Chains A and B, each alone.
Chain A
């Protein structure tokens, strides 16, 4: 009777627990969605930044023209005159997802516009990502850890920064796909079911469709398989989890046009094939070991080793020769810059110039993952007690993502789920120990008050508390004196908890009979639980602050608070709207590549270069034009059929990310392809300046002239609020360009190329004829300006 009653109560408790878990997960989803809505509330429902505008334009095209036209789309309104094959160079996952959601909503007669769906895709998928984290951590440790990890991920600032409402970028769905793929892999590993292996391949396919970071998965999983084999954890479930994934995954990856045959030919995937071969060898070895006697097995090993090593050497030699014959050893530039952080700055200045690709600073770790930064080591320790396949995977995932986040600040995003999983495990284990201690002490107190026999305490309490873990308290408390030694004792006793500042004195635990349950003193437990809750509260406060203040700026609309209220700077959209309404449809606009996506999406004009940055020479051409004097720049732009030039200038209002601040990168990139542009020409004594001390080349280049034309008329002195000095050349006229539009705060300035003069009269004609003959004679010199 008693046992069934106990079972009944425990199953009732489980039922309650299940319902409560579902409710909590729903709330977590709501939190994840709502915390990302600050930008919509503070500004408006608008698409942010630069890359999302391209995705938005592609989604518009998809919704208007259908999937076949999208798949075969050749875009001629960008990278003029080269064009871009959108179908083959874009990761279609995000646009297809949003397009499907839009189609679904409209078929149900919910009239959502494409823009609304695009803006809110990221918050919806962050809710899904939180649920996927719950599933993954449940497989690694248990449901309690799962819920904690899901709650932490819903709010972690690093993930919020790339998935606010309006940040319509690949990472919005890719992080969900990443966590879900890992969950299915661990589920397959734990259950050994081929069904989950198929689902795993599908999730991996979705990840390949969504983001270039899929190479992280296809290298992390083989590393984990290798780790399991090396640590002696090979099992048939490992084979079932890995081998079908490689075959199906490679095939599915090759289906995506942007990956294509790279799935079998680039070094990023070779790791998976190598481990595929290794796992087959290991499986064979285990099989033969199973059917042979040990002595014969030893004979077999010696025989196989002698033959095998010879064969292996030959194969490895062939492989090394194949790989070494290509200059980058088969790795793409972006992957190489991850493995060798100095690679990009030496060889690919475009990758080095993006601010997201710089290594992060220490404060950014605390800004982005806050409290998790010191919960993670506790989680790592918790994963080792006990070590299972799944927890070894979690540790490996964390270690690799910490390394990569140290290389590139953008990859803090990949660290976020790993940190959340680890912290969830740590917090859940800590709560488990503390609540167990509290329960133990409270029941002991009640037992004490009921029965007077203290001798019985040993058995009743030892049966009540759970199975003994390694006893951390016995050595500490029974021998050491009762003086509280705060951190040292606390850290050794409570390895699984993070900072402990309580000064609870250490009460020796009452001696037990056979089993010694892992309990802590009651006061320590209560204080610790309270402090953990306070820690959680501080974390939530920080996340909400970060989401509201730091990561919700749409960067296409700027605001500033001054003594007379809120100023809104909507200059970018003003400029694009002017372009859209006052120029011909086929006019070409030249600007620095940052603004390409926005120009094509909002102004609907053809651009020369955009954020895709796939053609370095084309970008260098534009950079050279911006760095050259007016006449040479006009020649370059005229050869590209450009009609309008757009520059961003922040000197009047103090906007620091304008083109003059980016100008040195234009010089470097241009100089990388056209050697007559030398960076030293633009620097005075190694310093970059545009005031009266600037070099002659700097004061005469197109960027300077287009930025500061008529700037002196604003305040009479030409004081640049960003550079904080007066500019060098104040009064000048433009000979080859004419200003057609400057926005309200002078942030965007648009110029038109003046048409060539019909007739050349007098002196200029004679010099032109003379120069033409001399230039034809001296055409064979090297280092000559190719544009003259």
Chain B
């Protein structure tokens, strides 16, 4: 078991070290993703306390958080320089796609929010 905890500590340390070497722009995107997911979890907790009526508002709120998280992850994938599949894609194009998708997502959310 001691070996297990040792391994776990070693694992966490190496994870932290590997993560520290990622560029700052990607870390900002990761922070944004964490924020979106946290907001979604807060909304779910609130729904558990207060009840789910009106359901469409709950659904649009949670799905907008999840949606922006997913789109941010897509942006991160496309902007990451280590990703060989997207080395021809200019980051401006990736960001433009990201903005467009977010616009569409939030348009739908506003319609569904009731």
Contact = CB atoms under 8 A, between A and B. Distances in A.
Task: Check if A and B associate.
Answer: yes
Nearest to A237: B85
A522 to B, nearest CB: 43
B94 to A, nearest CB: 7
Interface in A233-266: 235-237, 239-240, 243-244, 247-248, 250-252, 254-255, 261, 264
Interface stretch (A27-35, A286-294, A342-350, A744-752): A286-294
Interface string B51-67: 00001100110010011
A292 to B, nearest CB: 6
A192 B59 CA distance: 28
Interface in A297-319: 299-300, 303
Contacts of A293: 14
A240 B7 CA distance: 34
Main secondary structure of the interface of B (DSSP, over half): helix
A180 B14 CA distance: 46
A194 B71 contact: yes
5 contacts: A194-B74, A248-B104, A288-B15, A291-B18, A299-B7
A296 interface: yes
Interface residues of A, number: 34
Main secondary structure of the interface of A (DSSP, over half): helix
Contacts of A240: 74, 77-78
Interface in A182-225: 192-195, 197-198, 201-202
Contact of B112 (A195, A254, A291): A254
A302 to B, nearest CB: 8
Given A193-B97, A244-B71, A250 B63 contact: yes
The contact size tier of chain B is 35 or more
A239 B4 CA distance: 33
Contacts of B104: 198, 201-202, 248
A195 B85 contact: no
Contacts of B41: none
Contact of A244 (B8, B55, B82, B101): B101
B73 interface: yes
A303 B11 contact: yes
B7 A303 contact: yes
Contact of A255 (B18, B94, B100, B111): B111
A239 B14 contact: no
B100 to A, nearest CB: 6
Interface of A: 192-195, 197-198, 201-202, 235-237, 239-240, 243-244, 247-248, 250-252, 254-255, 261, 264, 283, 288, 290-293, 296, 299-300, 303
A255 B11 contact: no
A438 B12 CA distance: 64
Contacts of A288: 15
Nearest to A196: B97
B77 A195 contact: no
B14 A192 contact: no
Nearest to B67: A247
A290 B19 CA distance: 11
A235 B67 contact: no
- 5 closest cross-chain pairs (CB), A and B: A194-B97, A291-B18, A247-B67, A236-B77, A243-B70
Given A236-B77, A254-B112, A299-B7, 15 more contacts: A192-B86, A194-B71, A195-B97, A195-B100, A235-B85, A236-B83, A236-B86, A247-B105, A248-B104, A248-B105, A251-B109, A255-B111, A255-B112, A299-B10, A303-B7
B108 interface: yes
A194 B101 contact: yes
Nearest to B21: A291
Nearest to A248: B105
Given A236-B85, A296-B10, A194 B78 contact: yes
B98 interface: yes
B111 to A, nearest CB: 7
A236 B85 CA distance: 8
A178 B78 CA distance: 28
A198 B73 contact: no
Nearest to A241: B74
Contacts of A292: 11, 14-15, 18
Contacts of A291: 15, 18-19
A288 B109 CA distance: 33
B98 A194 contact: yes
